[in-house]
């Protein structure tokens, strides 16, 4: 590989730690003898098409260090779907800036973009290596134990449901139920994380609705009635993409994005939480609340997990190490080495970009309870080292006074 420059970009939705991965790429690139300059795409692949690259090597040490704890996507993101007609223009820019190493921080679609761009460049006489850095709060990337961004988002969900559950318990004479909707189109990793905050048998959440299980109206209403009878209120957590047995979304959204995916939440004009709220109110006549977080778990750096920030940075560094050793066409993976109950250990691995792009990773069956409304101890053991300890809140014994 001839000495050349680096191009790095961020794509799709952010995470609380995506900028830490960016900092890792820049740090390792600057230190590498085989790399010249380090460029960043302004607003993803659109920055390449619009000739808007950022000279990351000229940024101050303080700024690059600060990225390791900064939320958002510092380079700016994009959801432009790369089409065949874009490739000649992209290649022109790659040659103009002598890009030989190409890194993108993102999910499935991003890995597909890296694969397609590097394949086109190499087939047209421009030697280049591409390595993907994993990112998604959904935790559904194939081939890795977990993705940078998931631990912090999982902590956000667990804390939110824990705290909202304390409120719901104390306000049960006013509101009889509360619904928390989590992002996560087709995998339940994030809504399932709410169960990690359960601190007593009657604590929130009482019911989980995960995309891996079809929504059963009658079974759900029966479970709601039982939880209310046992606890005096009901805490429900649902994934935004839960569907009925026939595959139609519970949210009844029909709006689709540029990639053909159904839009959920505000972009879809409705939500699963809204429909569940209506269903419960109509069935039982109760008053209740619902909360739809949208992008908040993606940017809550104040609830970030140190392990998550550190692993994100290390993934960025690892991508550069792989590329400079001639390993391209892969995504960095994290592989857990310890068994449940043992001290957490992780090692890096790789998986081909094409394999990641063509697969999703739903929650495995052994992580989901038999009734489909909860998770197993195996899942909580999986999550514990990633999220760390949560606060414990005081609770009145509430003994009835005697005159």
**Active-site residues: which are they?**
138
Q: Residue 32 in contact with residue 320, Cβ under 8 Å?
A: yes
Distance CA 93, CA 78 (A): 18
Cβ neighbors of 302 (< 8 A, separation 6 or more) are none
* Tokens encoding 129: 């290596």
Distance CA 34, CA 358 (A): 32
* Tokens encoding 186: 């087709």
Q: In what order do the strands lie in the sheet with 234-239?
A: 207-209, 234-239, 177-182, 288-292
Q: In what order do the strands lie in the sheet with 330-336?
A: 53-55, 35-41, 4-10, 99-106, 129-134, 330-336, 346-352
Distance CA 153, CA 287 (A): 29
Residue at token pair 């939110």: 160
Q: Residue 117 in contact with residue 87, Cβ under 8 Å?
A: yes
Residue 207 sits at φ, ψ, to 5 deg, of -135, 135
Q: Residue 362 in contact with residue 212, Cβ under 8 Å?
A: yes
Candidates 161, 217, 216; CA nearest to 192 is: 161
Helix (H) or strand (E) holding 131: strand 129-134
Helix (H, G, I), strand (E, B) or coil at 146: coil
Candidates 126, 105, 149, 139; CA nearest to 10 is: 105
Helix (H, G, I), strand (E, B) or coil at 389: coil
């Amino acid at each position: 590989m001839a000495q050349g420059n680096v191009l790095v970009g961020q794509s799709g939705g952010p995470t609380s730690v995506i900028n830490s991965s960016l900092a890792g790429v820049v740090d390792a690139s600057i230190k590498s003898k085989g790399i010249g300059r380090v460029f960043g795409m302004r607003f993803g692949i659109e920055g390449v098409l619009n000739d808007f690259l950022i000279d990351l090597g000229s940024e101050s040490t303080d700024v690059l260090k600060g990225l390791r704890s900064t939320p958002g996507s510092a380079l700016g993101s994009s959801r432009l779907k790369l089409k065949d007609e874009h490739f000649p223009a992209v290649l022109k820019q790659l040659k103009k800036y002598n890009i030989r190493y190409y890194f993108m921080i993102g999910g499935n679609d991003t890995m597909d973009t890296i694969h397609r761009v590097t394949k086109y460049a190499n087939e047209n006489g421009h030697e280049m290596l591409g390595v993907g850095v994993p990112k998604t709060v959904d935790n559904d990337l194939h081939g890795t134990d977990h993705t940078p961004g998931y631990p912090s988002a999982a902590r956000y969900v667990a804390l939110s449901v824990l705290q909202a559950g304390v409120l719901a318990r104390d306000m049960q004479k006013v509101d009889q139920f509360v619904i928390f909707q989590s992002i996560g189109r087709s995998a339940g990793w994030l809504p399932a994380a709410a169960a990690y905050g359960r601190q007593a048998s009657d604590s929130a959440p009482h019911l989980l609705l995960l995309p891996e299980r079809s929504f059963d109206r009658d079974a759900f209403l029966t479970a709601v009635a039982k939880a209310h009878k046992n606890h005096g209120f009901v805490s429900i957590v649902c994934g935004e993409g839960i569907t009925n047995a026939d595959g139609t979304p519970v949210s009844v959204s029909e709006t689709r994005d540029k990639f053909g995916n159904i839009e959920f939440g505000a972009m879809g004009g409705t939500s699963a939480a809204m429909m569940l709220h209506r269903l419960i109110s109509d069935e039982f006549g109760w008053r209740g609340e619902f909360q739809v977080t949208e992008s908040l778990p993606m940017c809550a750096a104040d609830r970030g997990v140190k392990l998550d920030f550190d692993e994100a940075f290390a993934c960025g560094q690892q991508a550069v190490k792989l590329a400079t050793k001639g390993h391209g066409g892969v995504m960095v993976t994290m592989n857990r080495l310890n068994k449940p109950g043992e001290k957490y250990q992780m090692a890096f691995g790789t998986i081909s970009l094409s394999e990641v792009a063509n697969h999703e990773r739903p929650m495995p069956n052994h992580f989901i309870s038999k009734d489909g409304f909860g998770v197993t101890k195996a899942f909580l053991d999986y999550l514990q080292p990633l999220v760390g300890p949560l606060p414990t809140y005081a609770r009145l014994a509430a003994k009835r006074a005697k005159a």
